[in-house]
Amino acid sequence: MAEEKDSWCVVYLGNDYNWWVHENSEDGIVEDDTVGILDPKQVERMGDLLLPLKPHGLSDEVVNGAFTTYAIDREMPKEMLKIRSTKDNIFNPREPIFCLPNVIGDNEGPFSEFIDHIMAMRVKLLNSSIDFQRPLNSEEIEDILHAEQQERYISGIKTHAFDEIVSILDYVPDGYSLDEDAEEEESEEDALDLQEFDDEVDDSLSMSDEKGW
């Protein structure tokens, strides 16, 4: 059996405080701000938002299959990072990880399945927690979130994968609330900048030296 080749990415922090792929081992240079990748803080936040869905049928297999995970390898010029592929579990990573959505073609593949899955699980949670006059369905929420994305697009704002995920996992219809939903909003403070990576990069490089990576 042929040895599986490790993949890598070079990522940079955009003006929107999200991380984007600049280059990867499969496709080379990537057009600016077209391929978003979740940083370690966003991965942690996503995991926290996914946990309430587990009693409603959330599949760990679907979640983990939706992403390729990466760990910090080293800092690069122009405030970029090189990250290397790992086999970490999103809910219990061995080290801080980035998560790149697995997309095939035009919004297809495991990430698309993940989006549909968490939408269905969020609808189950809402319907079991709130006494609506009539049950919610996924199509209604999809229409609302799609309209919001279109407004952002018209305004020249690209939708990052993390924004798409959180818009589903945080969704509550107007006029309702959930006790377990946090009131805090995602902001640029939740994104990692290069300064916050210093200790993680040092630890990663030290581990690399010890293991001969």
Residue 212 in domain: no
| The pLDDT value given to residue 190 | 52
Q: What's 82's DSSP letter?
A: E
| Mean pLDDT in residue range 131-135 | 90
In a domain, 20, yes or no: yes
Please check the confidence at residue 180 and state whether its pLDDT lies above 70: no
Instruction: Yes or no: say if 172 and 178 are a contact pair by the CB < 8 Å rule.
Output: yes
Instruction: At 166, give phi and psi (nearest 5°).
Output: -65, -35
User: Across-strand partners of 81?
Assistant: 11, 75
Percent of the chain that is helix, strand, coil (3-state, to 5) = 40, 20, 40
Q: Is the pTM of this model over 0.75?
A: yes
Which of 13 and 181 is assigned the larger pLDDT? 13
Q: Is 197 left (phi over 0), alpha (psi -120 to 50) or beta?
A: alpha
Residue at 202 is within a domain: no
Give pLDDT, residue 158. 82
Range of the domain at 172: 8-177
173 lies in some domain: yes
Query: Are 162 and 46 contacting, i.e. CB atoms less than 8 angstroms apart?
Result: yes
Query: Is 2 part of a structural domain of the chain?
Result: no
* Average pLDDT for 83-89: 94
pLDDT band at 209 (very low <50, low <70, confident <90, very high): very low
Split into its structural domains, the chain has a count of: 1
User: Burial level of 33, CB count in 10 A (0-12/13-18/19+)?
Assistant: middle
Helix (H, G, I), strand (E, B) or coil at 8: strand
Q: Which residues contact 85 (CB under 8 A, 6 or more apart)?
A: 6, 7, 8, 68, 69, 70
Let me know if residue 201 belongs to a domain. Answer: no
Q: Let me know if residue 209 belongs to a domain.
A: no
User: What pLDDT is recorded for position 78?
Assistant: 86
Q: Which residue has the higher pLDDT, 52 or 154?
A: 52
Q: At what angle do helices 161-169 and 40-50 cross, to 10 degrees?
A: 20
Asked if the model's pLDDT at residue 155 lies above 90, the reply is: no
pLDDT band at 159 (very low <50, low <70, confident <90, very high): confident
Look at residue 94 and tell me if it is in a domain. Answer: yes
CA–CA dist 37, 19 (Å, integer):
6
* Res 9 pLDDT > 90: yes
Instruction: Identify any residues that bridge with 19 across adjacent strands, giving them in sequence order.
Output: 13, 37
CB within 8 Å of 10: residues ≥ 6 apart: 21, 22, 23, 24, 76, 80, 81, 82, 83
